[in-house]
Structure 1
C-alpha cells in the first residue's frame, strides 16, 4: 500500500484522484488504469508524429511557393498574435543556441497549434486559397474544404496536447481519433499514412484491454479538470 501512496504523491493527489474516482478508490486498480492510459498514449505516438511532421512540411512547401521560403516573416501573411509570438520565440531560441535562422529550423520549431491555427477563418483567403493550403490536402485524391479539415484537426490537436502533458485520454473516442489521424495524413501524403498505419500499435493496445469501457462516466468531468 505504501508504494501506491508514494506514487500518488509523485503524480499529485488531484491527478491520481481521477483514476481513484473511476476505480471506486481501489488504489491497485487505479494504478492499473493509469498504466493503461500511459500505454494507450504511447500507442498513438507514431500516427501523431506522422501527421504533425507531414502537416508542417506540406504547409511549408505550399506557403513557400506562394510567398517565398521565409513566408513566416512576410508582412501580412501570419497575422495572429500568438503565432507571431511563436515565430519570434523560435528565432530567439535558435539565436541563443548560435544556430543559423534557416527556414527549415524555424519551421521545425513551430508547434502543432501554430499549424492548425493556419486553418482558422482568418486565413480563409490568404493561406487557404492564395497560400495554397487547400492543395496540401489533395495528395490522397480528396478535396476537403477548410472547415471540414479544421473540424477534424481541432480535437486531434486537443488529444495530442493531453498526451504531451501526460493527462488522461481514455474518455476520448480514441478509435475515431485514430482513424481521423490516418485519414488526414492520407489527405496530406498517402505514403506517410501507410507508414503510420504500419507502425501504429494502437489497435493491439486499445482493443486488447477494452480501454474505452474502463473509465466510468462519473469520472469524466473530474478527468477533464486534471
Structure 2
C-alpha cells in the first residue's frame, strides 16, 4: 500500500533522523523510496525470526545431547563441565553465564536462559577433547562426514558467529537490506540440516525470507 503524504512527512522523524539516514542515502534522498526500503527491511527482519528460532533450538539441543552424554543430566552443576568453559574477564564468559543461572531449579530452565553465544562458544576447539572428537557426528549426524571433526566443528562455530551477528542486528532494529539475504538464509538452513534434513525442509516450506528477496524496493 502506498505511503500517504502525511506518512511521508511524519515517519522519518518518528524513526529518527540518524536511523532513517541509512535508508535515505540508499535511495538518493527520496523519502518515499526510503520508507519503502525501511518497511521491506522491517518485514524481512520479522520473517527471519522463524528460521532463526528453529536454528537456535536445534543447535542447542544437538549440543546439549553431547554435554549430557559426557556430564550427565545435572551438567550445569558439574564442576568438571564448568572448568571446561572459557572465562575471559573483558568479554562474554560462558562460565559466568552458566554460574549466574544456577539458581534456576532445573537444567531445562537453564538451557532456555543461556545466551545464543553460549552455544556458539561450545563449538570452539577447547571442547574437542571432551566432546567433539567423540560426539560431534552423534550430535550433528547429517554434517559432512567426509570432513574432519575439527573442520566441521570450526565451520559450525563460524556459522553460528555469523548467525548470531545477524540475529543481534535484527534484535536491535538495524538495517540488513544490504546483505546477501539468500546466503544468510542458506547458512541458517545448513545448520538446521546438520541435525535433521526434514526439519530444514519444513523451514523451507514455512519461511518467508527467500520469497521477499525479489520484492526488495
How far apart in 1 are the matches of 2:17 and 2:99? 37
Identify which of 185, 190, 193 aligns with 2:197.
190
Identify which of 100, 105, 108 aligns with 2:109.
105
How far apart in 1 are the matches of 2:100 and 2:6? 44
The structure showing larger relative contact order (alpha-carbon pairs under 8 Å, at least 6 residues apart) is 1
- The alpha-carbon deviation at position 167 of structure 1 amounts to 1.0
How far apart in 1 are the matches of 2:63 and 2:128? 14
Identify which of 91, 94, 97 aligns with 1:83.
94
Q: Which residue of 2 aligns with 1:72?
A: 76
Q: Which residue of 2 aligns with 1:222?
A: none
CA 1:133 to 1:5, structure 2 compared with 1: closer, same or farther past 3 Å?
farther
Q: Which residue of 2 aligns with 1:59?
A: 63
Unaligned runs of 5+ in 2: none
How far apart in 1 are the matches of 2:178 and 2:132? 33
CA 1:5 to 1:125, structure 2 compared with 1: closer, same or farther past 3 Å?
farther
Q: Does 1:166 align with 2:173?
A: yes
Question: Over residues 177-196 of structure 1, what are the superposed CA-to-partner deviations in whole Å (9 max), with x where a residue is unaligned?
Answer: 21121111011122321221
- The alpha-carbon deviation at position 201 of structure 1 amounts to 1.0
Q: Does 1:126 align with 2:121?
A: no
CA contact (8 A) 1:63 1:133 kept: no
Q: Does 1:9 align with 2:13?
A: yes
CA 1:3 to 1:141, structure 2 compared with 1: closer, same or farther past 3 Å?
closer
CA contact (8 A) 2:68 2:75 kept: yes
How far apart in 2 are the matches of 1:102 and 1:165? 30
Aligned to 2:101, the other structure's residue is in SS state helix
Q: Which residue of 2 aligns with 1:223?
A: none
Q: Which residue of 2 aligns with 1:32?
A: 36
CA contact (8 A) 1:127 1:133 kept: yes
Give the count of matched residue pairs: 201
CA 1:21 to 1:33, structure 2 compared with 1: closer, same or farther past 3 Å?
same
Identify which of 127, 136, 139 aligns with 1:136.
139
- The alpha-carbon deviation at position 56 of structure 1 amounts to 0.8
Unaligned runs of 5+ in 1: 95-100, 215-226
How far apart in 2 are the matches of 1:113 and 1:201? 26
How far apart in 2 are the matches of 1:89 and 1:37? 35
What RMSD over aligned residues (CA atoms) do the two structures have, in Å? 2.1
TM-score normalized with structure 1 length: 0.79
TM-score normalized with structure 2 length: 0.82
